[in-house]
Amino acid sequence: MPRGTFTRNVLSGCLSVILIWLQAGCAPATPEAYVLMTPCSSSNAGIAGNAALNPAVNQIFQYAATPTPDPAIILSPADMLAAQNHRVLYARHAAINLLAYEAERWTKIKEIGFDDSSKVRIAITYLSPELMESVLQNHILAHEPQRVDVWEIIQKEMNQVYERDKLIFLITIIADSQAFSPHKIDLTPRGMILRNARDDAVAPMYDDHNLEIPIDLSDGPEFGFLYYPISIMTDRGCEPVLDRETNTKINIETRVIEIDSVSKGPYVWMIHYAPLVETGNLFYVPKYPDGFTTIDTAVFSPLSEPPATDENDVVFWREFGRYIWGQVTLEKP
């Protein structure tokens, strides 16, 4: 992908469309054509990535590590182990619900209809530090719930994400199971532009190749990652694409998506990024089951595919969070 900055003086109609829109064919240029930004490295780039560790994740780990709520009771080793396992079970229940919350918070879904009344849903999820920490917490509680160095583990894994120096988004394409005829969709992922509060138009640096070719929806759900630069060159120097001082929203926009070779659009996915005023309160307070709650342990594992239901289903975001878990770690159910 070109790394230079294009001017708004289009050299030629056809060449401009190829370079800026990365689409085949020659079409009239538009004065609103996007200017592709040049990535750079900045000491401030981590503003978007190195957010504070999620307090809700910390609460759940602390709950799991406390074997009994009454320190005055002296338990036998067997009873102590049973009590600790009980706390871990409740912690996993809270952790999977936190994952559902973070999945919904960082995802936006657009629905596109077909002529046969069926539809396709395109979900874009920002893999925020909060969402990634929740994924890692569920992984740790599933495999090593007795670990005491959980923050060191999470920080080590998160550093692998930060070292990529990218803003990473997961795109999920979910076809309607009621479709009466096969459909194909062409996303043109390099034309999916991240626009920030400065009105910078930032194109992905990399994407999974399966997103670049027409997708046959009859083959089932499709998914892949988009990688945007974490900082870009502007007339003010090298600056982060997103910062919490001026960006309250993340907007991903595309002017066209081809459905069965017919162009549709434009479309915008808007994800809430940061509040205008940081109150210091938890966005989410972990919820633990009471003694009468039936706990379904079958949901304490990742999924390899997204749920087929829509987001109005009561368990959709829990299942979508499990699917994100599966995509991030490549764990099998």
Query: Which pLDDT tens digits describe the chain residue by residue (333 residues)?
Result: 444 433 333 333 333 333 333 333 333 333 345 556 788 886 544 444 445 578 899 999 988 887 655 555 665 565 555 556 778 899 999 999 999 999 999 999 999 988 777 889 999 999 999 999 999 999 999 998 877 788 888 888 888 888 888 999 999 999 876 555 688 999 999 999 999 999 999 999 999 999 999 999 888 899 999 999 999 998 888 999 998 888 999 999 999 999 888 888 899 999 999 888 776 655 788 988 887 677 888 999 999 999 988 888 889 999 999 999 999 999 887
In a domain, 153, yes or no: yes
Q: Is residue 223 within 8 Å of 172, Cβ to Cβ?
A: yes
Give the tokens for residue 293: 């709650």
Task: Supply φ then ψ for residue 204, to 5 degrees.
Answer: -65, 145
Residues 67 and 157 in one domain: yes
In a domain, 311, yes or no: yes
Residues 61 and 158 in one domain: yes
Residues 23 and 121 in one domain: no
Residues 111 and 57 in one domain: yes
Q: Is residue 118 within 8 Å of 176, Cβ to Cβ?
A: yes
Q: Which residue has the tokens 């102590």?
A: 80
Residues 23 and 44 in one domain: no
Range of the domain at 123: 39-170+229-243+269-329
Distances (CA, A) of 127 to 45, 149, 162, 245, 298: 16, 23, 11, 20, 25
**Paired residues of 185 in beta bridges:** 215, 259
Half-sphere exposure of 282 (CA within 13 A, CB side): 14
Quote the pLDDT of residue 5.
39
In a domain, 201, yes or no: no
The b/e string for 60-75 (b: 16+ C-beta within 10 A; e otherwise) is bbebbbebeeeeeeee
Quote the pLDDT of residue 328.
95
Q: Is residue 123 within 8 Å of 174, Cβ to Cβ?
A: yes
Quote the pLDDT of residue 26.
36
Quote the pLDDT of residue 280.
61
Residues 18 and 114 in one domain: no
Tell me the pTM.
0.82
Domain count, the chain: 2
Residues 166 and 299 in one domain: yes
Residues 6 and 112 in one domain: no
In a domain, 54, yes or no: yes
Give the tokens for residue 118: 């069926």
Residue 84: strand, helix, or coil: helix
Residues 104 and 6 in one domain: no
Residues 141 and 277 in one domain: yes
Quote the pLDDT of residue 247.
92
Residue 275 burial (C-beta neighbours within 10 Å; 0-12, 13-18, 19+): exposed
Give the tokens for residue 263: 């162009």
In a domain, 99, yes or no: yes
In a domain, 204, yes or no: no
In a domain, 249, yes or no: no
Quote the pLDDT of residue 155.
87
In a domain, 108, yes or no: yes
Residues 116 and 8 in one domain: no
Quote the pLDDT of residue 8.
36
Closest residue by Cα to residue 88 from 144, 155, 149: 144
Tell how many helices (H) and how many strands (E) occur in the chain: 6, 15
Q: Is 22 left (phi over 0), alpha (psi -120 to 50) or beta?
A: left
DSSP-derived secondary structure letter, 19: I
Residues 164 and 282 in one domain: yes
Quote the pLDDT of residue 290.
80
* Rounded Cα–Cα distance for residues 260 and 3 (Å): 32
